[in-house]
């Protein structure tokens, strides 16, 4: 990745990252865990997986509620929801701790560290997210780390306001419409990460990249697009 720090420093106050599928290549791990969790519902598994993927970045506990209400049409007791969460963590955590980083992620974090503020806003439960980031030795890169205890829109708004980041100088990177919606709601620029060969979930005019090696060029395009729109 060529050095582009002077340009980024003069363009951005902060970069807000989703985590799964943006920093770590962990989306498939989460897909497999959801599939295993609901394997005893073979007739509904395709609908369950579709819901899970369409609501990328949303707390798994919210997804459990949606699955039981909208697909299984069964009540979901609080104890059952907790058990589903525990089993999901058992199925996914070890693999997430071992999975590779998205191409270019480590290099980008190293280049931005100390120059541009960085934060993580993910749908993963707060404690689990913090443990994963600490276990992967990534904690020192991020000014703030937020999991799925609150919606991304409110988290981003609070960070921008309390840290006095200028909205026109904040960029969010995500792989789901939840991330795109949080960026739009907070008037910050957005870049989508789309795995090569997969269909983009984003509106056609969204700037997308296959990995984080392409981040510098995407920053320039995202900011220039904002300037042109305003």
Q: What is the pLDDT of residues 138-174, one digit of tens each?
A: 999 999 999 998 999 999 999 999 999 999 999 999 9
Position 6 scores a pLDDT of 58
Q: How confident is the model at residue 10 (pLDDT cuts 50, 70, 90)?
A: confident
Q: Do residues 20 and 30 make contact, with C-beta atoms less than 8 angstroms apart?
A: yes
Q: How confident is the model at residue 1 (pLDDT cuts 50, 70, 90)?
A: very low
Q: Is the pLDDT of residue 50 over 80?
A: yes
pLDDT in tens, 90-141: 999 999 999 999 999 999 999 999 999 999 999 999 999 999 999 999 999 9
- Answer with the residue of higher pLDDT: 1 or 206: 206
Q: Is the pLDDT of residue 225 over 80?
A: no
The whole-model pTM stands at 0.88
Q: How confident is the model at residue 4 (pLDDT cuts 50, 70, 90)?
A: low
Radius of gyration for the chain, computed over Cα atoms and rounded to the nearest angstrom: 18
Per residue in 80-114, is it b (16+ CB within 10 Å) or e — as a string?
Answer: eeeebbeebbebbbeebeebebbebbbebbebbee
Q: How confident is the model at residue 5 (pLDDT cuts 50, 70, 90)?
A: low
Q: Which of 23-27, 28-32, 222-226 has the lowest mean pLDDT?
A: 222-226
Structure tokens at 190: 């957005």
Q: Is the pLDDT of residue 228 over 70?
A: no
Structure tokens at 47: 């609908």
pLDDT in tens, 181-198: 999 999 999 999 999 999
Ordered by start, the domain boundaries in the chain are: 5-25+100-229, 28-98
The CATH superfamily holding the domain 5-25+100-229 is HAD superfamily/HAD-like (3.40.50.1000)
């Amino acid at each position: 990745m060529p050095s582009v720090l002077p340009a980024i420093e003069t363009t951005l106050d902060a970069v807000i990252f989703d985590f799964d599928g943006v920093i770590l290549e962990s989306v498939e791990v989460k897909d497999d865990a959801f599939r295993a969790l609901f394997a005893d519902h073979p007739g509904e598994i395709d609908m369950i997986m579709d819901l899970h993927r369409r609501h990328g970045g949303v707390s798994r506990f919210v997804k459990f509620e949606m699955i039981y209400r909208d697909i299984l049409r069964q009540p979901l007791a609080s104890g059952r929801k907790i058990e589903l969460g525990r089993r999901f963590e058992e199925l996914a955590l070890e693999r997430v701790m071992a999975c590779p980083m998205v191409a270019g992620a480590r290099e980008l974090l190293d280049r931005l560290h100390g120059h541009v503020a960085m934060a993580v806003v993910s749908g993963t439960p707060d404690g689990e997210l913090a443990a994963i980031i600490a276990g992967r030795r990534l904690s020192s890169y991020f000014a703030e780390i937020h999991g799925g205890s609150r919606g991304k829109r409110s988290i981003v708004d609070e960070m921008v306001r309390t840290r006095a980041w200028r909205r026109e100088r904040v960029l969010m990177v995500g792989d789901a419409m939840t991330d795109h919606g949080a960026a739009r709601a907070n008037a910050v620029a957005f870049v989508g990460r789309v795995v090569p060969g997969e269909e983009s979930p984003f509106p056609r005019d969204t700037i997308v990249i296959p990995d984080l090696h392409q981040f510098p060029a995407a920053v320039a395009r995202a900011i220039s697009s904002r300037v042109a729109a305003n």
